[in-house]
């Protein structure tokens, strides 16, 4: 069995000129159906006559809006941006009105209090509990005037976060650096120089063009010998969409960020919370701000001695090799790469030829076949948004269809930076008993193929791919049929990174790397000597990396926890304070990292960036079970599938973890996996 054509979005038929009209029609259809549905008395409903029709309405609208939102992220154009921004307020208004509908709230509340509630499935009960919680978070208890204020704030927030994202996209693609003398690019790998030449040709320029797309930028910062050129690129990158740098004041997110925080703070206050930090925890595994702060501070205390030692080693190395006594932010990646090479005779670039992307994909699919018994196959002829995109189906060991996944791997213009997973549709069984299979988007920004050679990945790229694929598996392998707790839906945000980070662990196993690797010229798998070097370098600067993530997490949580609308420049002052207390590498004054921190200002991680470390504790401890039983142990894989991947947002995350592991997780597993287990 596979997907029917009508099950999949028709991307080629999405015309920016018709988007608003199409969405308006879908919204009107939903509104009419909702009015008809709620014409009954609130106390006469059952699951079949209330919740099932509501799920269908949500599903129908999502299938219209999701492909449009996705295209806005991966294939943006001026016309699409305008259509998206014109239509977004309508969608926001619809969902806000739905979340404040007193008649609907009363109907669901009555269902919760009814005698039949005890007979509902776990997924049905969880759906209702989440709905009642979300009604309160949307201000269902507020008087009419304050409900209107809440709705206005929701509109502002959706528009502000979109503006942040668009400013960042424009700033990233608005900078390029033309180079005419190839000697200036000394140190860059050949493929990176060729890519820069290709970029220049696309712009009808002679020579080479360096851009700020992440594969180009990160490679340049690691390998460019010219220190002044590294500084120029660094300054352009860390000042994107800000009041500093080469485009100072253009696409500036300074006011946008303040407005986003102010709007979030107002939303939280309006519904009875002291701040947005507390508001955000209402839907997370952690319940009190102190839990988050204590966790991060404990992790920082354990990591800091390692980070300090690592930075001193880096400073000494830069002085010893190049007489650099003033190690700057734009030097850190360069000398870190050189130090890693000198210490372990290892470089990420040395292993890149062993990871052609098609081989990596085949190996990754083979791995999950061994562990979970699932088979992943490409499907030709599917309507996609770009020629580089491939659609795959997933079948279980009984050859039953479980879901589909669109994979878009390469960086290009008009595509948001970074890597992410999103869903087009969740698993859902409608009132007609016809099962809707889940569909996911997997998006990365890897360096594309150059001159007829296949795209080649670093090991870091492989980790990124496995991470996003882990999110996809979490969504696609669910066995929950209720829309709002199916797959990734309804999963507390500080747990949602668990299955994705769990997948990264497999990328360090030799047997798996053999299946992922095939030298682009010789076909040989990753040799044992190179694998040993890679393993020796696994924990290189892990303390610095840990402290950096803690810095981001604390900054995010504190600006939401302690935001004061009356205090100017608060974002910068909080960041400066966090850096002063926790950072090892102090950035220059012009650094405006926060202006491009889209995870928290344009994504779902507001007051939740700590989730990466919180979930890493779970993933490290869960993977230890595979290490104990055997990484390919099918029974352990089936247990993880049953207790973690298939259950969606139904059980309490800790209950689900204990069902798999047999006990609660410990922070020691995380420290061990990061090479820092000796600190007590």
Q: What is the pLDDT of residue 484?
A: 96
Mean pLDDT within 574-586: 96
Mean pLDDT within 598-627: 95
User: Which tokens in the block code for residue 38?
Assistant: 């709620």
Tell me how far apart the alpha carbons of residues 444 and 466 are, in angstroms, rounded to a whole number.
11
Tell me how far apart the alpha carbons of residues 98 and 315 are, in angstroms, rounded to a whole number.
57
Tell me how far apart the alpha carbons of residues 68 and 90 are, in angstroms, rounded to a whole number.
14
249 pLDDT higher than 50: yes
Compute φ and ψ for 300, nearest 5 degrees: -65, -45
Residue 37 to residues 32, 54, 179, 396, 400, Cα–Cα distance (Å): 9, 9, 64, 37, 35
Helix axes 329-344, 289-322, angle to 10 degrees: 70
172 pLDDT higher than 50: yes
Domain annotation for the chain: domains and CATH numbers: 5-99+101-137 (1.20.1050.40), 175-238 (no CATH), 274-346+541-609 (1.10.1370.10)
Compute φ and ψ for 356, nearest 5 degrees: -60, 140
DSSP per residue, 410-445 = E--TTS-SS-EEEEEE--EE-TT-PEEPPEEEEEEE
pLDDT, one tens digit per residue, over 182-235 is 999 999 999 999 999 999 999 999 999 999 999 999 999 999 999 999 999 999
| 518-527 LR contacts (CB < 8 Å, sep 24+) | 518/354, 518/356, 518/359, 519/353, 519/354, 520/353, 520/354, 520/356, 520/453, 520/454, 520/456, 521/353, 524/354, 525/354, 526/351, 526/354
Closest by alpha carbon to 190, among 233, 165, 219, 155? Answer: 219
Q: What is the pLDDT of residue 477?
A: 98
Mean pLDDT within 240-246: 98
For residue 627, the tally of other CB atoms under 10 A from its CB is 13
Active site residue 310: no
Tell me how far apart the alpha carbons of residues 357 and 516 are, in angstroms, rounded to a whole number.
9
pLDDT, one tens digit per residue, over 1-41 is 789 988 999 999 999 999 999 999 999 999 999 999 999 88
Cβ(503)–Cβ(465) below 8 Å: no
Strands 375-378 and 439-446: unpaired
Mean pLDDT within 599-623: 95
Q: HSE of 287 in the Cβ direction (CA atoms, 13 Å)?
A: 1
Cβ(437)–Cβ(7) below 8 Å: yes
Tell me how far apart the alpha carbons of residues 324 and 335 are, in angstroms, rounded to a whole number.
10
pLDDT, one tens digit per residue, over 402-457 is 999 999 999 999 999 999 999 999 999 976 678 999 999 999 999 999 888 899 99
345 pLDDT higher than 90: yes
Q: What is the pLDDT of residue 40?
A: 87
Tell me how far apart the alpha carbons of residues 576 and 152 are, in angstroms, rounded to a whole number.
32
What percentage of the chain exceeds 90 in pLDDT?
A: 94
Q: Which of 131, 235, 468, 616 is catalytic?
A: 468
Q: What is the pLDDT of residue 676?
A: 82
Beta bridge pairs of residue 405: 392, 440
Residues in contact with 312: Cβ distance below 8 Å, sequence separation at least 6, in sequence order: none
What percentage of the chain exceeds 70 in pLDDT?
A: 99
Map residue 102 onto helix, strand or coil.
helix
pLDDT, one tens digit per residue, over 78-97 is 999 999 999 999 999 999 99
Cβ(321)–Cβ(338) below 8 Å: yes
Q: What is the pLDDT of residue 679?
A: 41
Residue 111: exposure state from Cβ atoms within 10 A (0-12, 13-18, ≥19): buried
> pLDDT tier at 680 (50, 70, 90 boundaries)?
very low
Residues in contact with 272: Cβ distance below 8 Å, sequence separation at least 6, in sequence order: none
> pLDDT tier at 275 (50, 70, 90 boundaries)?
very high
Tell me how far apart the alpha carbons of residues 680 and 670 are, in angstroms, rounded to a whole number.
13
Compute φ and ψ for 446, nearest 5 degrees: -80, 160
Tell me how far apart the alpha carbons of residues 180 and 207 are, in angstroms, rounded to a whole number.
5
pLDDT, one tens digit per residue, over 653-673 is 999 999 999 999 988 888 888
């Amino acid at each position: 069995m596979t997907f029917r054509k009508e099950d999949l979005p028709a991307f080629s038929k999405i015309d920016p000129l018709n988007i608003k009209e199409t969405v308006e029609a879908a919204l009107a259809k939903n509104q009419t159906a909702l009015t008809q549905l709620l014409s009954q008395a609130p106390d006469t409903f059952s699951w079949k006559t209330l919740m099932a029709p509501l799920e269908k309405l949500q599903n129908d609208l999502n299938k219209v809006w999701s492909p449009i939102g996705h295209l806005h992220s991966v294939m943006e154009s001026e016309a699409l941006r305008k259509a998206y921004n014109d239509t977004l307020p309508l969608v926001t208004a619809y969902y806000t009105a739905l979340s404040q509908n007193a008649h609907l709230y009363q109907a669901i509340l009555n269902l919760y209090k009814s005698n039949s509630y005890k007979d509902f499935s776990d997924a049905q009960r969880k759906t209702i509990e989440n709905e009642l919680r979300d009604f309160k978070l949307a201000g269902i208890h507020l008087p009419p005037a304050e409900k209107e204020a809440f709705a206005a704030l929701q509109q502002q927030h959706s528009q502000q976060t979109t503006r942040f994202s668009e400013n960042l996209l424009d700033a990233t693609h608005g900078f390029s650096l033309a180079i005419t003398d190839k000697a200036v690019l000394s140190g860059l790998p050949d493929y990176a120089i060729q890519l820069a030449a290709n970029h220049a040709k696309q712009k009808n320029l002679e020579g080479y063009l360096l851009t700020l797309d992440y594969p180009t930028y990160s490679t340049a910062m690691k390998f460019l010998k010219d220190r002044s050129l590294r500084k120029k690129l660094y300054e352009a990158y860390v000042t994107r969409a800000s009041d500093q740098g080469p485009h100072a004041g253009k696409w500036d997110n300074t006011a946008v960020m303040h407005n986003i925080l102010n709007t979030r703070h107002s939303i939280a206050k309006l519904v009875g919370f002291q701040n947005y930090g507390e508001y955000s925890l209402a839907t997370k595994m952690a319940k009190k701000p102190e839990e988050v702060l204590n966790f991060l501070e404990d992790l920082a205390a354990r990591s800091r001695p390692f980070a300090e030692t690592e930075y001193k080693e880096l400073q000494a190395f830069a002085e010893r090799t190049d007489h650099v006594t003033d190690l700057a932010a734009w030097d850190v990646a360069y000398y870190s790469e050189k130090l890693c090479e000198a210490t372990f005779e290892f470089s990420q670039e040395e292993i890149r030829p062993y990871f052609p992307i098609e081989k990596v994909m085949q190996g990754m699919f083979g791995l999950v076949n061994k562990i979970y018994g699932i088979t992943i196959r490409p499907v030709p002829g599917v309507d996609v948004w770009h020629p580089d995109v491939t659609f795959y189906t997933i079948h279980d060991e009984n050859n039953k269809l479980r879901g589909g996944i669109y994979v878009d791997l390469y960086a290009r213009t008009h595509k948001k930076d970074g890597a992410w997973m999103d869903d087009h549709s969740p698993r859902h069984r409608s009132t007609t008993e016809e099962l809707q299979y889940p569909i996911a988007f997997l998006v990365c920004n890897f360096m594309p193929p150059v001159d007829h050679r296949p795209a080649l990945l670093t090991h870091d790229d492989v980790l990124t791919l496995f991470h996003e694929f882990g999110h996809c598996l979490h969504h696609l392998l669910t066995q929950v049929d209720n829309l709002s707790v199916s797959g990734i839906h309804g999963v507390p945000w500080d747990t949602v990174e668990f299955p994705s980070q769990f997948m990264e662990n497999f990328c360090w196993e030799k047997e798996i790397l053999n299946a992922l690797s095939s030298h682009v010229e010789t076909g040989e798998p990753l040799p044992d000597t190179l694998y040993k070097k890679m393993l020796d370098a696994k924990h290189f600067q892990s303390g610095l990396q840990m402290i950096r993530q803690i810095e981001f997490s604390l900054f995010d949580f504190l600006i939401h926890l302690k935001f004061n609308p009356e205090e100017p420049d608060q974002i910068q002052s909080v960041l400066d304070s966090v850096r002063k207390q926790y950072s090892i590498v102090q950035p220059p004054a012009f650094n405006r990292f926060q202006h491009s921190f889209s995870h928290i200002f344009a994504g779902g991680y507001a007051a939740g960036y700590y989730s990466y470390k919180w979930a890493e504790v779970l993933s490290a401890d869960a993977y230890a079970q595979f290490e104990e039983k055997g990484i390919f142990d099918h029974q352990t894989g089936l247990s993880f599938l049953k207790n973690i991947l298939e259950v969606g947002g139904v059980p309490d995350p800790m209950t689900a973890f204990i069902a798999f592991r047999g006990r609660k997780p410990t922070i020691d597993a995380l420290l061990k996996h990061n090479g820092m287990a000796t600190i007590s």
